[in-house]
Structure 1
Amino acid sequence: MRPRKPLPPSFSMSAASHDLSIGIDFGTSNTVVAIADARGNVEALTFDHRGDDLKVYVTALCFWDERHGNGLRTEVEGGPWAIDQFLEGLTAHRFIQSFKTFAASQSFQETRIFRERYRFEDLLSTFLRTLAHHGGSRMDLSARNVVIGRPVQFAGSHPDEALAMNRYRAAFGKLGAGHARYVYEPVGAAFFYARQLQHDSTVLVADFGGGTSDFSVMRFSRNGGALRAEPLGHAGIGIAGDSFDYRIVDHVVSPRLGKGGTYRSMDKVLSIPNHYYANFARWNHLAMMKGSGDLKELRELARTALDPEPLEKFIDIVEYDLGFALYRAVSSAKVALSAENETEFRFTGEGVDIQAHISRGDFETWIAGDVARIAGAVDRALADAGVGHSDIEKVFLTGGTSFVPAIRRLFVDRFGEERLTSADQFESIAYGLALIGQTEEPGRWAVGAH
């Protein structure tokens, strides 16, 4: 075990000086808001959607045109209301999901939606405005102590952390949250979990989101009845649930939509470029293909393809905004493979019909490289903390991907089944972030704070 590096001082989770604090877990797939008071009570903000009180607000946007007088005006909805608008499909629209994945991407500068251009911070602030609208007066970010989660490492092959944080601050600042603090998402989960600890403990928190997997090692101790926390180490990687979805699309769906096919150019027969399928298999890129030049290029390829029908189906999925329906079908298959050894994949829409048998063995072969890289991030978190596997008393797993058997097996092999525990896959991070806002010095947990 190597010597432990200097760390910021630990601090108490007891006496608080704030009336209410808000924790916001802005996720790739879902967003959760929690509110905590000075007595340590915490609850999720609920959204009244068609008579149901929802604690999870889907991270999605739907834009559409409505006629006002003699002109058109772009309207927008977020969360479950975005899905409603998309499924009704009465007018031309753009449906966008998983856009958090673009946060740290220098290559993503903007996308055109009807007559306007949107940068990442514009998409995020637009999404947050819909969140605030449906959340009501309790979402007054300007009047509250606000703690916002962020990944340990942002998604992308070469994520620019400074760029991502500037975009976050610009977007949240438009809603009056320029004073907000940003805390690692697994640290938020750790605070939520720590409330049930009865004795001193070193805990590894594994947070699996849609775009990133993040790990924090925390030391919790009791002193005079107050629970104190000390951060020991962190690591993260831009591989998570969406990456596993990508493998299903790449192996099951894309080959039936022209991947591996050919087209004729002059007197040569060439392979259809793979980059269209790389974009297609990533939900954030698929949502943007309709507004880029990809659709036009695909139509040109279809005219010269030796077998145009699969490409025409690809075009239909993009043109008719079938990405969300595809997302649901892929997600359902992934969930089924967590409980069963095999499943039947089925996707239909606008004349496209794709069926395939998938075994858990196939799926685990496809994701083996991703799981190995996630294991490497776990090892880096332990090394950063200066601890070994035997020093971890509890492993707290959160996020839907933690139920994937290959992921759970990774932690069982390293730590043993008896040390694993889990909680609500959606709410734990937001709850913990709100609780951090009630600590004596919440600024100490902010990334980059001293």
Structure 2
Amino acid sequence: MTATDRPAALGIDFGTTNSVVALAGAAGTAELVPFGNRGAVFRSALCFWQDEAARGGLAVEAGPWAIDEYLDDPQNSRFLQSFKSVAASASFETASVFDRRYRFEELGRTFLDRLVAHGGGRLDAPRPDRIIVGRPVEYAGARPDAALARTRYDAMFAELGQAVHYVYEPLGAAFSYAARLTHAATILVADFGGGTSDFSVVRVAAPGAARRCEPLGHAGIGIAGDRFDYRIVDRLVLPMLGKGGQYRSFGKTLEVPRSYYADFADWSRLALMRNRRTLDELAKLAKAAVDPAAIGRMIAVIENELGYTLYDAVGACKRALSMADSAPFRFHGGGVDIEAVVTRGEFEGWIAEDLERIAATVDRALAASGVPADAIDRVFLTGGSSLVPAVRAIFDARFGSDRIATGDELTAIAHGLALIGQEEDVAAWAA
């Protein structure tokens, strides 16, 4: 295939935290799609609010515009984020938003509709010849159902009006990184998203080869940035909301059900707790609790729609710890006032178990590829959590810091997916 007859291709990295889109044309290069003056990184979030002028009485925005709408009126909006995390969950059926219930695919189509609308016309029909969508090697969740996720993805991306090809997300990053290489190499790509950490070993041929990249093996795990966030919330916030506390029932003293706290510390589920049934259950629990004020604080955070505020506080602390040995954590709202200093050592202790499982998954990827660690020429780290020093240390220890490459942490996958869309045999890359 020559440069002049390459098909136009659209690469979509639908991420747990952020989404990015890239377009590749006849020249054989790909460029990111900007969203107005907000750049190319589109937050994977939705905000709903009641508006009589809107269709069905419910208005909606996505991306950075969803954050704007939420911040303008938090109590009268519903802010949903990280909803990709429930794609493979059979226990997730619908999300209650005011008086409507949304299936995953309906949330996804709504998100895509707003993403396209903010694409400045570059994503409107007619669309490119091929659409390539990234998917994780392993979906998030305790018992992820990959077939269910595929069915939901198919229904979601039907919004685009043409067939899509699914490719493992780290392969997109591999193809993007291969475009930088001027020689043959065997590379390990480590993609750290919000919900999953995925690894692929790829053999890259010298420039000009008929097939530049050959995938050799993959592995993934549903542990990534959101799990690290959970550890911070679990240590600093949940104790003030009654976790580990007790309540009285029929003469017995029982532990407050942990399921409420599991949902509260999950960004994809926190906003969904703001429904009448859950709030009524929590109100009854508060009356029976040994520490009713603690349950009352949890109710206040939920009712006042403070999920994004909490997420922002956690993210600020985590990012600061990537650059300093200690960082402040500050959250105020719903009667919860937390001012704490977290050391990097404390944080790394909280996520130690997660790091061990991530490291084991790297070993599984190497085993699946049949390539030993010392035969890996380069390791390409991408995704926001690749900036966490303890994550980087896993790869420094196994491969040596001189073999580690980074860059384009949030955009490499979409860029590579668009380039894969121009390959003659796209099916060879399909997941």
For normalisation by structure 1, the TM-score amounts to: 0.92
How far apart are residue 266 of structure 1 and its match? 3.0
In structure 2, the partner of 1:197 is 181
In structure 2, the partner of 1:9 is none
RMSD between superposed Cα atoms in Å: 1.8
How far apart are residue 53 of structure 1 and its match? 3.8
In structure 2, the partner of 1:162 is 147
Assess if the C-alpha contact under 8 Å between 1:24 and 1:433 holds in 2: yes
Aligned pairs for 1:283-294 within 5 A: 283-291=267-275, 293-294=277-278
Query: Which one is further off, 88-97 or 299-308?
Result: 88-97
In structure 2, the partner of 1:172 is 157
In structure 2, distance between residues paired with 1:19 and 1:161:
29
Query: Which one is further off, 194-203 or 346-355?
Result: 346-355
In structure 2, distance between residues paired with 1:19 and 1:364:
46
**Against the structure 1 CA distance between its residues 280 and 165, is the aligned structure 2 distance closer, same or farther, given a 3 Å change threshold?**
same
* Secondary structure, counterpart of 2:65 in structure 1: helix
In structure 1, distance between residues paired with 2:276 and 2:425:
46
Assess if the C-alpha contact under 8 Å between 1:17 and 1:440 holds in 2: no
Q: Deviations over 1:304-330 (max 9, x none)?
A: 222211211111111111000100100
In structure 2, distance between residues paired with 1:327 and 1:131:
22
Give the letter aligned to residue 81 of structure 1. W
* Secondary structure, counterpart of 1:196 in structure 2: coil
Q: Deviations over 1:158-189 (max 9, x none)?
A: 11001101100111112313x11000000000
**Against the structure 1 CA distance between its residues 141 and 237, is the aligned structure 2 distance closer, same or farther, given a 3 Å change threshold?**
farther
Query: Which one is further off, 167-176 or 27-36?
Result: 167-176
In structure 2, the partner of 1:371 is 355
In structure 1, distance between residues paired with 2:125 and 2:193:
24
* Secondary structure, counterpart of 2:243 in structure 1: coil
Aligned pairs for 1:38-437 within 5 A: 38-48=26-36, 52-68=37-53, 73-89=57-73, 92-140=76-124, 143-144=127-128, 145-177=130-162, 179-222=163-206, 224=208, 228-291=212-275, 293-437=277-421
Give the letter aligned to residue 133 of structure 2. I
Q: Deviations over 1:317-358 (max 9, x none)?
A: 111110001001001111111111112211012432112221
In structure 1, distance between residues paired with 2:124 and 2:364:
38
How far apart are residue 260 of structure 1 and its match? 1.3
In structure 1, distance between residues paired with 2:75 and 2:262:
29
In structure 1, distance between residues paired with 2:277 and 2:137:
33
In structure 1, distance between residues paired with 2:321 and 2:110:
35
In structure 1, distance between residues paired with 2:115 and 2:125:
11
Assess if the C-alpha contact under 8 Å between 1:31 and 1:58 holds in 2: yes
How far apart are residue 137 of structure 1 and its match? 2.5
In structure 1, distance between residues paired with 2:96 and 2:297:
24
Give the letter aligned to residue 383 of structure 2. G
In structure 2, distance between residues paired with 1:422 and 1:223:
21
Number of aligned pairs? 430
In structure 1, distance between residues paired with 2:401 and 2:102:
46
In structure 1, distance between residues paired with 2:349 and 2:225:
16
In structure 1, distance between residues paired with 2:290 and 2:153:
46
In structure 2, distance between residues paired with 1:325 and 1:62:
14
In structure 2, distance between residues paired with 1:16 and 1:289:
53
Assess if the C-alpha contact under 8 Å between 2:138 and 2:222 holds in 1: yes
In structure 1, distance between residues paired with 2:354 and 2:173:
23
* Secondary structure, counterpart of 1:206 in structure 2: strand
The answer to whether 1:30 aligns with 2:18 is yes
How far apart are residue 112 of structure 1 and its match? 2.0
Give the letter aligned to residue 115 of structure 1. D
In structure 2, distance between residues paired with 1:392 and 1:106:
38
Assess if the C-alpha contact under 8 Å between 2:74 and 2:305 holds in 1: no
Q: Alignment identity in percent?
A: 53
In structure 2, the partner of 1:8 is none
In structure 2, distance between residues paired with 1:23 and 1:109:
28
Give the letter aligned to residue 67 of structure 1. E
Assess if the C-alpha contact under 8 Å between 2:248 and 2:288 holds in 1: yes
How far apart are residue 93 of structure 1 and its match? 1.8
Which structure's residues are more often strand, by fraction? 1
* Secondary structure, counterpart of 1:47 in structure 2: coil
* Secondary structure, counterpart of 2:160 in structure 1: coil
How far apart are residue 222 of structure 1 and its match? 2.0
In structure 2, distance between residues paired with 1:30 and 1:43:
17
How far apart are residue 443 of structure 1 and its match? 2.6
Query: Which one is further off, 157-166 or 262-271?
Result: 262-271
Give the letter aligned to residue 51 of structure 2. E
Query: Which one is further off, 366-375 or 106-115?
Result: 106-115
Give the letter aligned to residue 205 of structure 1. V
**Against the structure 1 CA distance between its residues 141 and 446, is the aligned structure 2 distance closer, same or farther, given a 3 Å change threshold?**
farther
* Secondary structure, counterpart of 1:109 in structure 2: coil
Segments of structure 1 that go 5 or more residues without pairing to the other structure are 1-11
In structure 1, the partner of 2:430 is 446
